[in-house]
Structure 1
Amino acid sequence: MPMHEIKPTGHEAEARSEAPRIARETQEEQDDRSGKRNKLHRAPPKRGRRDPIIFSDDDLPDGPTPHRDAILIVMDVNGATVRRVFVDTGSSVNVMYLETFTKLGLTKENLHQVRTPLVGFTGNSIEPEGCITLTIEIGEYPRVRAINMEFVVVDLKSAHNIILERPGLEDLGAVVSLEHLCLKFRTPEGVGTIICDRQAARSCYLLACRQIGSQDLQV
């Protein structure tokens, strides 16, 4: 007896045509859920690779060691070359002395008020004249870094013009080596290096000693 093809009825045909679409939708839903999971668990973007900052024997200063010198550098501030910039890591503010501030052609009208006094390691406090943000440039071409840096201005006598402290060093991304008497920092052209002005460092040390000797010391 010949076999006859049995065609599905209307409801059966509709159900069969729906099955592949349901399967496709289910797969799409699974892919969508998988994509959402991947987004949730996706690792944060990696920071760009940066040049390592390395100190070697090639960076050591000439002369006998230990040298016991402080690090004094030169940098441009507000378009002027400022020498006797003392590099320190013991304070939470960058300090500019009022005499230097005035020589840069600035006036007290340029200052913003500072409500907190500065306290030294001896416990003495001083009211700042105010604070100001200036553009500084450090390094030698082409490895130069220029940033805006905040300074607290104080009316004190000092052998230095500026004290570059932790905030400024961090903003520059600088690493200091007392042994090598220099600091290094990253620039778009690679790692820049600033070498200590040893003559200025020793001159400032002698001047500070004379200032101390002219005052009454209390122990």
Structure 2
Amino acid sequence: MSVTRLLAEDANLEPKRPRTEIQSIMRFSDQDKIETIQPHDDTLVVTLKIKGYDVRRVLVDQGSGAEIMYPDLYKGLNLRPEDLIFYNPPLVSFDGKTVILRGMIRLPVQASSEVVEVNFIVVDAYSPNMAIVARPWLHALEAVSSTLYQKVKVPSGGRIEEIVGSQSTAKHCLVAVILHQPEVESSTSAGGGL
């Protein structure tokens, strides 16, 4: 093929146009507050599909770096000790006590149409929540969460999907924590009084 013919064929081609992508902007507005009770101080509690099951009472905690699974979910998913990976770093609860760890397990978590693998630390501690998802989960999804707006926004296929929190479930969890009376050592058995 001659150079002249190639140039002629190239001249008949349409000019290349720059590719434009429409990017959805993840933001929250007053419109997002419409179905929430305002003002509030509720945590963000959602329902997620974990290992194929709809799991209610999952706390979204963007302030934490650890994803946690509590005993009720561990038992409910029929997990066995041999399913766990050894995990040794200490975990300290809000009251400053060391939490007993059973191990770690990697499970698929579906949020809207997106699925990511999450490393849950399985703990032996009380919580009205079934699990906590944290920054690693949010970052894997490139998601943004808001307790004020009670939503998680997840980019997916050029659009923004929303996971809506349940304020009534968050309130029930709070009441359960307040009513939960852990076993307390009496001052006499602890070796003295005040």
- TM-score normalized with structure 1 length: 0.70
Aligned with 1:68: secondary structure?
A: coil
Aligned with 2:24: secondary structure?
A: coil
| Residue of structure 1 in register with 2:188 after alignment | none
Aligned with 1:113: secondary structure?
A: coil
Is the CA contact (8 Å cut-off) linking 2:36 and 2:150 kept in structure 1? no
What root-mean-square deviation, in Å, do the aligned CA atoms of Structure 1 and Structure 2 show? Answer: 2.1
1:127 aligned to which of 79, 100, 112: 100
Taking the aligned partners of 2:34 and 2:128, their CA distance within structure 1 comes to 23
Higher relative contact order (CA 8 A, sep 6+): 2
Aligned residue identity for 2:166 = D
| Residue of structure 1 in register with 2:63 after alignment | 90
1:166 is displaced (CA, Å) by 1.4
Structure 1's unaligned 5+ residue stretches are: 1-47
Aligned with 2:180: secondary structure?
A: helix
Matches within 5 A, 1:187-198: 187-198=156-167
Larger gyration radius, structure 1 or structure 2: 1
- TM-score normalized with structure 2 length: 0.78
Identity, % of aligned pairs? Answer: 28
Runs of 4+ in 1 over 6 A off after TM superposition: none
1:189 is displaced (CA, Å) by 4.9
1:172 is displaced (CA, Å) by 1.6
Q: 1:73–1:130: structure 2 CA closer, same or farther, 3 Å change rule?
A: same
1:205 aligns with 2:178: no
Higher helix share: 1
Is the CA contact (8 Å cut-off) linking 1:118 and 1:125 kept in structure 2? yes
| Residue of structure 2 in register with 1:35 after alignment | none
Q: 1:206–1:191: structure 2 CA closer, same or farther, 3 Å change rule?
A: same
1:99 is displaced (CA, Å) by 2.0
Aligned with 2:179: secondary structure?
A: helix
Aligned with 2:126: secondary structure?
A: coil
1:110 is displaced (CA, Å) by 0.3
1:51 aligns with 2:24: yes
2:49 aligned to which of 64, 71, 76: 76
Aligned residue identity for 1:171 = A
1:104 aligns with 2:77: yes
Number of residue pairs aligned between Structure 1 and Structure 2:
166
